[in-house]
Structure 1
């Protein structure tokens, strides 16, 4: 028999060299950690003594960091290390980006958020990484440092750099302040560049940038217009004034040419200065001449109808339009550089959740095209009617007349039905509507603040025979009641070096007396003296001298003289009724609210109030909610118009006194 082999037995599949083999439920090979090559020590001597270190391994680098400082800087690591102590390594995945390396990215994060040995400043190179990791590791302090860096440096960088910062802020969901700080620099880009990088912006921001550039173009056009206007004014020295015949013994007379009034004369002939220069900075505009007249170039005047072909050219309109002579024309073809409005149906980029919207948009476009084609065919049919078809034309005219008469009768019936409701009933209905929409938020003050302006807009009454004005300041609209022919008083508290609205109101309501007050005398006194009487005092809820938040070159705190609102009106206005009061007193409006409530010192003195209610503190918000609660019971004030600032969250509110007898006599009962 052959001898038995003495070769060693093969080990069993489930054991390797006597140690059991780990089984994995996953079919993929088990992930092995990369060997640690480098080690970075961010511990000080005290951390070494107390043993409060933690070991974080990223890629192939070990970071030794103080546990307490890391937990303080990042909520992510605070939750991770809360219940784990010891010297074991924590392996952390930083990012899927390969450049810069994950270990470099984490090193930037540690050095920018942990002050040991020293806190490193954020730079252009590390900004995006710090923004991303501040969100990844929930590091609020680093997020605030990134915001501060962007706010302080956005306007000093090139526009394309600011665009990248804005894109990062949108991508990593930074707050609105961070995004807004980049917009002025991004707006410097050309229209072509903005169109090329449109995918980096939201549609709202893109439209805001276009609107800002358009308004900037208006301003530059006005500057050019004024420069050309000044060039047209000239002076020359002659022996005799051609207008009044004035001469000077042995000297020449200086004669001025004034194209505004088409006059040439000496200083005595021109007692007043140039008409247009007097309006500089207020009503002065650039103009363009079209076949139908002189049209101001600004943001408030409608375009002349002869500009429709030009507008269609720039908008890329697909629709037909009718020219002045009645023929139907196509818009001019688009050039490669012509900007177009955004059309979702033409957007080929894949965006999550937009396939249904894009299909719906295509269907709407096809429907509009079919409707447009039908309208064009009908218009061409009417235009091409021949004289021998006069009978058919008469039938068409007769049918159209009957339709128009039916619509007119329906409109007249509706208007007559509406006028049977009195203004008093409309005010009561508006008050009830507002109370129904806002009362459910009395227990949620923050939501009430956010929804207040919309509730006012939805419930605003449409009053009969009462005309509301809208007068623009630099950053707001003031909406007063246009006073009747009798004398009236307009009180403006808080001038803020801006009287454009007051000037326009004075031109419209010349019978009114204007009174203004502001704690800053510089510039405000000169500006408001052109409108009415100015008082250098801060108007609030009590008398004395206090530190107040005032606008000089910038907003700052300053010691100012104070006078309560009731005393100011009693001493300086000296009228029983104040028709309009416009108030912008920088957070001092909250203590003034009790003056306006039922039984307050001014509840029967004011008729209409424009007030800017600044973004409140928690204490101010409770005062505002209390005012609304008490007003819902008394119905002293009816809210007519309101808007909330999209960035600063201030509320601008126009309200009228619903319980004032003189107010009813002047406006509502007639």
Structure 2
């Protein structure tokens, strides 16, 4: 096909090769001139840079105990919480300072096989005297409230704390470990082996566990709480954390919990949480034959398994907070039955009954029967 014919097909009319070449060259020269002018303009003009994007961090305002703190330049630390705001950890870990008792406890004689240890005569006599004095003091008090569980719970602390003044209790060596909001109590061991401390209900507060960790060597910590953060990061710094609640039956249970949020708000809410049976957790997951220390504070969930603390598991000593306030239906009745069963079995003595708030109090129990506990803590 000729050039002239193709030109006609494109609508060019009569083909004139000379005119076409002249037009093409003219257009090309115009384009070169345009780009030359544009380049000259860009080369001689100062361009203003776009401002760098800077994220504005909002002011952080914290209210705590009727006091207000405002920081104009706080950088929020966002980590793996559901709401993006949680417990603010220190930028640098505080130096570890051992308790003066740590070295002494680290040089105790080995415990050996506690099941075969011979309990000394003076240890047996001490436990018998403790039990006798305790029962003589507490039995008349408790009998006044037989059939009156609600009155018993309301009057409990001022009545029960009269027995704390028994002089025989001073020989047990009970020592405090302060938490942020309460005191945990313990009797430290008389021999050296691996110790176990079980925390049921971390509650965004591990101050007492941290103090315990720098006091008693060779302690293994195990903590359970249905709210993962910040409890996981706090407890995992020294122990093993389990993200579920502890109850009597498996499934979902409505628990009063402190949700993922800044600790200073202390706003508890009721949530349906995954629940693991207490005995299954202790016997099958942890595979414990004995618990040396148990700290139980689960906002009313303790009523689910109080009856299992009698004979189904060996606990040498435990702190527990009773929350009848959050179990108004049968909490007082469950507590009353538990106390009467404790006095019937005569396995534990209890002391340090203290109010936390209306309808809530704490107690400390010591096992004075099981041989391993006596050998480890009193022999």
TM-score (norm 2): 0.63
Q: 2:364 aligns with which of 636, 639, 654?
A: 654
Matched, 1:540 2:256: no
Closer, same or farther: CA 276–640 of 1 in aligned 2, 3 Å? farther
Q: Which residue of 2 aligns with 1:620?
A: 331
Q: 1:631 aligns with which of 342, 347, 360?
A: 342
CA distance in 1, matches of 2:128, 2:376: 13
The 8 Å contact of residues 255 and 270 in structure 2, kept in 1 or not, is answered as yes
Q: 2:291 aligns with which of 574, 578, 594?
A: 578
CA distance in 2, matches of 1:574, 1:525: 21
The 8 Å contact of residues 549 and 555 in structure 1, kept in 2 or not, is answered as yes
The 8 Å contact of residues 423 and 463 in structure 1, kept in 2 or not, is answered as no
Q: 1:565 aligns with which of 268, 271, 278?
A: 278
CA distance in 1, matches of 2:144, 2:129: 24
Q: 1:643 aligns with which of 344, 354, 363?
A: 354
CA distance in 2, matches of 1:583, 1:651: 12
Shift of 1:420: 12
Shift of 1:618: 4.1
CA distance in 2, matches of 1:655, 1:478: 11
Shift of 1:277: 4.5
CA distance in 1, matches of 2:361, 2:170: 27
The 8 Å contact of residues 548 and 558 in structure 1, kept in 2 or not, is answered as yes
Runs of at least 5 residues in structure 1 that lack an aligned partner in the other structure = 1-155, 157-182, 189-215, 220-274, 284-417
CA distance in 2, matches of 1:567, 1:430: 32
Q: What's the secondary structure of 2:352's corresponding residue?
A: strand
Matched, 1:521 2:228: yes
Q: What's the secondary structure of 1:443's corresponding residue?
A: coil
The 8 Å contact of residues 197 and 220 in structure 2, kept in 1 or not, is answered as yes
Q: Which residue of 2 aligns with 1:425?
A: 129
Q: Which residue of 2 aligns with 1:503?
A: 210
Q: What's the secondary structure of 1:548's corresponding residue?
A: strand
Shift of 1:480: 1.5
Q: Which residue of 1 aligns with 2:25?
A: none
Q: What's the secondary structure of 1:422's corresponding residue?
A: helix
TM-score (norm 1): 0.36
Closer, same or farther: CA 419–494 of 1 in aligned 2, 3 Å? closer
Q: How does 1:400-411 map to 2 (within 5 A)?
A: none
Matched, 1:442 2:161: no
Shift of 1:629: 1.8
Deviations 1:319-349 (Å, cap 9, x if unpaired)? xxxxxxxxxxxxxxxxxxxxxxxxxxxxxxx
Q: What's the secondary structure of 1:501's corresponding residue?
A: helix
Q: Which residue of 2 aligns with 1:94?
A: none
Deviations 1:349-392 (Å, cap 9, x if unpaired)? xxxxxxxxxxxxxxxxxxxxxxxxxxxxxxxxxxxxxxxxxxxx
Which of 1 and 2 has higher RCO (CA within 8 Å, sep 6+)?
Answer: 2
Q: Which residue of 2 aligns with 1:306?
A: none
The 8 Å contact of residues 198 and 223 in structure 2, kept in 1 or not, is answered as yes
Greater share of strand? 2
Q: What's the secondary structure of 1:652's corresponding residue?
A: strand
The 8 Å contact of residues 438 and 452 in structure 1, kept in 2 or not, is answered as no
Q: Which residue of 2 aligns with 1:19?
A: none
CA distance in 2, matches of 1:483, 1:573: 21
Shift of 1:571: 2.6
Query: Alignment length, in residue pairs?
Result: 263
Closer, same or farther: CA 473–557 of 1 in aligned 2, 3 Å? same
Closer, same or farther: CA 659–550 of 1 in aligned 2, 3 Å? same
Q: Which residue of 1 aligns with 2:304?
A: 591
Closer, same or farther: CA 428–573 of 1 in aligned 2, 3 Å? farther
Cα RMSD of the aligned pairs, angstroms, is 3.1
CA distance in 2, matches of 1:592, 1:477: 23
CA distance in 2, matches of 1:615, 1:511: 36
User: Higher mean Cα deviation, 605-614 or 634-643?
Assistant: 634-643
The 8 Å contact of residues 419 and 464 in structure 1, kept in 2 or not, is answered as no
Shift of 1:504: 0.2
CA distance in 2, matches of 1:575, 1:560: 24
Q: What's the secondary structure of 1:508's corresponding residue?
A: coil
Q: Which residue of 1 aligns with 2:189?
A: 483
Closer, same or farther: CA 580–419 of 1 in aligned 2, 3 Å? closer
Q: What's the secondary structure of 2:363's corresponding residue?
A: strand
Deviations 1:9-64 (Å, cap 9, x if unpaired)? xxxxxxxxxxxxxxxxxxxxxxxxxxxxxxxxxxxxxxxxxxxxxxxxxxxxxxxx
